Amino acid sequence: MFWMNTAFAQSFMPVEGSTFASKMDALYKFQVVASVIACFLVIGGMVYFALKYRRRTDKDQTAYIPHNAALEFLWSFIPFVIFMVIFGWGWVVYHEMRTMPQNAFEVHVVGQKWYWDFLYKSGRKTSGEIFVPVGEPVKLIMTSRDVIHSFFTPAFRIKQDVVPGMYTTLWFQATKVGDFQVFCTEYCGDGHSAMLAKVHVLPRDKFNDWLENDPYKGLSLAQIGENIFGQKCAACHNVTTEKKVGPGLAKLGAEVELEDGSKVAIDENYLRESILNPAAQIVKGYPNAMTPFQGQLSEQELSGVIEYIKGLQ
């Protein structure tokens, strides 16, 4: 089906970022095409017969037709063959996805309300972003600290529940360098929709560099945050209650009043937004003067700053 490879048809699917993607998509396309053909045959046939054999006069009588063995065999057997093809094909792809390669690069994944941590054997740790080499099998060994989450990367066509008290695994081999979105796809509470992460696929040499040069080795999140705070925030914010260009960040209280008189709760999401996009909610009495930090901090650094500010309360 030529049109299934057009840009238009492809735009319905996420990019194909792993070796599984094209296999999964081929099976999916087969199912779509088979379903569309079956739909036209069944609905089309129904409409055609309804028109052709409609009752025209009161005297019309339906012929006595008990059954047609050949026809009934065919309309059972052909769908059976199609379903068995889908089953067999699906089984082959699924089996490959569930057979973990022995030589895979392994990363531990810990899900918790509502973020993802990634732990590497070298001791590197990241939050909200995972780095992997392109063109090599990567195995994820996953568990949860609280409830059931689910690790879903549409571009790789992989998805697996992440369960407290046990390990579940996934593997993939990325085919493209780039950033790919991870979602939590098991409802896990208030922050479920914000439980996101990015897969950064790097060429092997850049990946080695990244793996070996951990600027935050041995530091806690709050220590990383203190570091960043000193470089980027301290010019305008005190770590006491005293105001500078912006508010002092100690003892912020439970909520804050905005310019329009409304109040918002000070929680991780408020802090995150106020760092990435400060103009969104300006505290009453302050100018809209802060640089947005969108795109300038890694998730680890951002979480670090948030943890550091939480520690000032």
Q: Which residues bind ligand CUA (CB under 6 A)?
A: 111, 114, 149, 184, 186-188, 192, 195
Cα–chain center distance at 194: 10
DSSP assignment letter at 5: G
For ligand CUA, which is the closer residue by CB, 23 or 192?
Answer: 192
Q: Smaller CB distance to ligand CUA: residue 188 or 202?
A: 188
186 vs 226, beta carbon nearer ligand CUA: 186
Rounded to an integer, what distance in angstroms lies between the CA atom of residue 309 and that of residue 312? 5
- 140 vs 249, which CB is nearer to ligand CUA? 140
Longest dimension (CA), the chain: 96
Residues in contact with 122: Cβ distance below 8 Å, sequence separation at least 6, in sequence order: 211, 212, 214
Closest CA to 171 of 162, 158, 185: 158
Closest contact distance (angstroms) between CB of 191 and ligand CUA is 8
Nearer to ligand CUA, 114 or 308 (CB): 114
- Does residue 169 sit in helix, strand or coil? strand
Minimal distance in Å, beta carbon 147 to ligand CUA? 7
Report the nearest approach of ligand CUA to the CB of residue 183 (Å). 8
Smallest CA-to-CA distance from 211 within 142, 136, 293 is with 136
We find the least distance from the C-beta atom of residue 149 to ligand CUA, in angstroms, to be 3
Work out how close the CB of 246 gets to ligand CUA at its nearest, in angstroms, rounded to a whole number.
32
Do residues 202 and 133 lie in contact, with contact meaning Cβ atoms separated by under 8 Å? Answer: yes
Tokens encoding 284: 């009453």
Minimum distance of ligand CUA from residue 107's CB (angstroms): 18
What does the alpha-carbon distance between residue 50 and residue 149 come to, in Å, rounded to a whole number? 50
State which residue, 116 or 229, has the beta carbon closest to ligand CUA.
116
